[in-house]
Structure 1
């Protein structure tokens, strides 16, 4: 609380000095060091150099022995308020301070041209401060966690992912969609020819996951018999995406008896998919707005090497997803996210409207499907699997 109060005070002090005499960004940075991190009798940071790049200026400093990089990171908000610009810190023996001139856009709309730029099994994850679009390749990093507080872009991101992959791979992508927020978000995809099944509650989710596990076990045996190590060794072009929105509803925590057992089986199968199924063409997209250690099982987290994290309410929730704080400090802007693979980057995720989705996917819509339970009880499943339809 005291820390929060001091931020505008310190920023105000720096700005007041700046108004009294012209103060450039370097002097503002050093003034924040002086006010926040340095006592009167202590050695100041040593300026080494600065270099101007196209979209930012980098300032390099040598730190005195009493200052750690983590101490500086904790004061990031002080620096950003004093300069009124976004700042990134890094440390490689020297402290590097990147001061950005441009702000991220608050809207980045998906277009057909961007979809056409997605080669192979890639999707756009967002645009950065330099105006570069980042892409994620699901053949390189196979599974993904998507997290974020409601209304900040998580479900829109999932709908974008489905749309891009269906548009670019209409003959070779398959989806199992598990929508545990009442089935509303994914209903417009229910009749796509690429969608094997849509589940809207835990019972339907378990049915879908059991079918997937059976398929995976068969494919593993086939690959072993053929001598394939992974799907790229084979001639199989198909990829099967299991997209779970609000996976917290499948957590066994807080349930008892049969409800607990059902959810535990769902969780076990999702962990199995994350552990063993990537090499044979299955991709898990695990999304939640309530990331806790109970909701995000360790085996799923460890085997999902990519994370897209929108704003979260607490630093603890951010640490569950990203292993570090930061998502709780994202601005209150829909679509603003942290994309993490080998290192985190802040992006504005693509926005996609329902009208755009319908326009792009119209060629792939089929007649309304029958219920999976009805279908399965009366005749063998369809060639691509079985279906669960909203009633």
Structure 2
């Protein structure tokens, strides 16, 4: 790091990045940023030979590398993608570019999208396009329900595959290609714009559902694109990172954040405005790329085009009525899947309190308090007794 700072001082550069060695060459590279950042447009990336000759089933136009070559990824080979970077680094533009490319190159029969947008401003502009599995999910209490339905769809597809004796979505499509009336199974891409908000609301459930999908959903044609602007260890847990091998890191504020995303330094020296490090699953070192840029009005043109073709989107009824998470205020604690576990903890301790259940079950205060109230209604524990925990009533110990 000291050597990098000394070299940057000598070259009068804001920051430099050392590539040692350059892949395929017996050379050490110094990446020195230009004074002005060149804009790489999404259109020029889509019109490049790298994209037009690509055989990717779900193409992702990343941008242009330091040698001027256009880089195109394939989501089906990744098979899941993690995008992280500080505010203003180009993360949302990258996400818009990926979604716009899907809308431009794939029909609703070939690809469905499930969008989860806790911030309520980034992805809601795509509401109404026929590719959506359901309207953009913005309510936090329905996120877990949407992920559970995705998991159920994955299990349904596996049952279908085993009945037909095929191993993956490609095998299924080849098998039923000549069968009239066979069910069409599109790719399903789950786009999560801000993972940090989800992990704050229901960390255990969100993590377990995402990990299960990341581990098993690939063969069924279900893929995840997860974005976050807070790359900390409590958001990007070890389990999530282990199952999402492809990473895109935009500029971050510290070396620690870079290590969380890429497991190596480098992202803290990026310039922002679309400057990224792309780490594919089969590479040991990340590739530096200037991301493809798309303006909001251009993304809106694509959405308007699909609105004109299909003015009224068709959604499945079960996806329109997403079940609420037990974390929500309206949920009944007696149906909470953690009730049995909470009862066992209370019986072992001999006393009950909301703060104890919060710690032991890793849930929010509202949910822990509802569990306590339900136990009191059921006669398992007594009323509150000052600062001491509630007593467990005789017969329930």
- Give the TM-score taking structure 2 as reference length: 0.68
Q: Relative to 1, partners in 2 of residues 1:334 and 1:112: Cα closer, same or farther, differing over 3 Å?
A: closer
Corresponding residue for residue 320 of structure 1: 260
Confirm or deny that 1:77 pairs with 2:5.
yes
Confirm or deny that 1:337 pairs with 2:267.
no
Corresponding residue for residue 291 of structure 2: 349
1:90 pairs with one of 8, 20, 31: 20
Q: Relative to 1, partners in 2 of residues 1:186 and 1:219: Cα closer, same or farther, differing over 3 Å?
A: same
How far apart are the structure 2 equivalents of 1:155 and 1:101? Answer: 26
The superposition leaves residues 112-140 of structure 1 with CA deviations (integer Å, 9 ceiling, x where unpaired) of 76166364311111211211111111121
| 1:368-379 correspondence to structure 2 within 5 Å | none
Corresponding residue for residue 271 of structure 1: 211
Gaps (5+ residues) in structure 1?
Answer: 1-72, 253-258, 373-379
How far apart are the structure 1 equivalents of 2:226 and 2:81? Answer: 6
The superposition leaves residues 57-107 of structure 1 with CA deviations (integer Å, 9 ceiling, x where unpaired) of xxxxxxxxxxxxxxxx65223224424575533149x97322468848432
How far apart are the structure 2 equivalents of 1:134 and 1:145? Answer: 17
Corresponding residue for residue 386 of structure 1: 320
Is the 2:60–2:72 Cα contact (8 Å) retained in structure 1?
yes
The superposition leaves residues 298-357 of structure 1 with CA deviations (integer Å, 9 ceiling, x where unpaired) of 2221121211111111111111110011111112x3111111111211111111111111
Confirm or deny that 1:133 pairs with 2:70.
yes
Corresponding residue for residue 243 of structure 1: 191
Gaps (5+ residues) in structure 2?
Answer: 174-183, 323-397
Aligned pair count? 295
Is the 2:17–2:269 Cα contact (8 Å) retained in structure 1?
no
Quote how far apart the aligned CAs of 1:291 are: 1.0
How far apart are the structure 1 equivalents of 2:194 and 2:245? Answer: 19
How far apart are the structure 1 equivalents of 2:186 and 2:2? Answer: 46
Is the 2:17–2:266 Cα contact (8 Å) retained in structure 1?
no
Q: For 2:292, what is the secondary structure of its paired residue?
A: coil
Is the 1:318–1:325 Cα contact (8 Å) retained in structure 2?
yes
Corresponding residue for residue 104 of structure 2: 167
The superposition leaves residues 232-261 of structure 1 with CA deviations (integer Å, 9 ceiling, x where unpaired) of 222066211101011011114xxxxxx54x
Corresponding residue for residue 114 of structure 1: 46
Quote how far apart the aligned CAs of 1:386 are: 3.2
How far apart are the structure 1 equivalents of 2:146 and 2:73? Answer: 26
How far apart are the structure 1 equivalents of 2:313 and 2:163? Answer: 35
2:116 pairs with one of 166, 178, 191: 178
- Give the TM-score taking structure 1 as reference length: 0.69
Larger strand fraction of residues: 1
